[in-house]
Amino acid sequence: MDEHEAHDEHEAHDEQDEHEAQDEQAGRSPQADTLAPLTLVREHTVYSCVMGSRAFGLATGASDTDRRGVYLAPTPSFWGFDKPPTHVEGPREEQFSWELERFCELALKANPNILECLHSPLVEVLTPVGAELLDLRGAFLSRRAHASFSRYAVSQRGKLEADVRLHGGPRWKHAMHLLRLLLSCRDLLRTGRLTIDVGPYREELLAVKHGERGWDEVTAWMTRLFEETEAALRTTTLPAEPDRARVTDFLRRTRRASAAAAA
Rg of the chain, C-alpha, whole Å: 21
Q: Residue 248 falls within a domain, yes or no? A: no
**Chain segment 110-165, per-residue pLDDT in tens:** 999 999 999 999 999 999 999 999 999 999 999 999 999 999 999 999 999 999 99
Average of per-residue pLDDT values in the chain: 88
58-72, 171-185, 236-250: lowest mean pLDDT where? 58-72
What pLDDT was estimated at residue 60? 87
Whether the bond between 74 and the residue before it is cis, its omega within 30 degrees of 0, is no
Say how far apart CA 195 and CA 183 lie, in whole Å. Answer: 9
3-state secondary structure of 67: strand
Q: Residue 104 falls within a domain, yes or no? A: yes
Domain containing residue 121: 26-140
3-state secondary structure of 220: helix
Q: 107 and 177, same structural domain?
A: no
Strand order in the sheet with 95-99: 87-89, 95-99, 66-71, 45-51, 123-126
What pLDDT was estimated at residue 20? 42
Q: Which of 182, 191, 195 is nearest to 228 (CA)?
A: 182
What pLDDT was estimated at residue 73? 96
Provide mean pLDDT across the span 24-34.
43
Is the predicted pLDDT of residue 248 greater than 70, yes or no?
yes
**Do residues 85 and 40 make contact, with C-beta atoms less than 8 angstroms apart?**
yes
What pLDDT was estimated at residue 161? 96
What pLDDT was estimated at residue 262? 85
Confidence band for 16, pLDDT divided at 50, 70 and 90: very low
Provide the pairing of β-strand 87-89 with 45-51.
unpaired
Provide mean pLDDT across the span 229-244.
97
**Chain segment 37-77, per-residue pLDDT in tens:** 999 999 999 999 999 999 999 998 888 899 999 999 999 99
What pLDDT was estimated at residue 2? 34
Q: 111 and 77, same structural domain?
A: yes
Q: 155 and 213, same structural domain?
A: yes
The pLDDT > 70 percentage for the chain reads 87
Query: For the residues of 112-163, what is the DSSP string, one character each?
Result: HHHHHHTT-S-EEEE-HHHHHHHHTHHHH-STHHHHHHHHHHHHHHHHHHHH
Provide mean pLDDT across the span 176-196.
96
**Chain segment 90-102, per-residue pLDDT in tens:** 999 999 999 999 9
* Beta bridge mates, 45: 71
Q: 132 and 30, same structural domain?
A: yes
Q: 33 and 119, same structural domain?
A: yes
* Beta bridge mates, 49: 68, 123
Q: What are φ and ψ of residue 26, in 5° steps?
A: -80, 0
pLDDT: which is higher, 63 or 7: 63
What pLDDT was estimated at residue 263? 79
pLDDT: which is higher, 59 or 33: 59
Say how far apart CA 122 and CA 48 lie, in whole Å. Answer: 9
Q: 115 and 155, same structural domain?
A: no
pLDDT: which is higher, 24 or 82: 82
Q: 165 and 82, same structural domain?
A: no
Q: 110 and 197, same structural domain?
A: no
Q: Which of 117, 78, 48, 21 is nearest to 256 (CA)?
A: 78
**CA 169 → CA 85, 178, 210, distances in Å?**
40, 15, 12
Q: Residue 245 falls within a domain, yes or no? A: no
Q: Residue 11 falls within a domain, yes or no? A: no
What pLDDT was estimated at residue 35? 74
**Chain segment 221-233, per-residue pLDDT in tens:** 999 999 999 999 9
What pLDDT was estimated at residue 27? 43
Q: What are φ and ψ of residue 27, in 5° steps?
A: 85, 20
Is the predicted pLDDT of residue 255 greater than 60, yes or no?
yes
Q: 161 and 86, same structural domain?
A: no
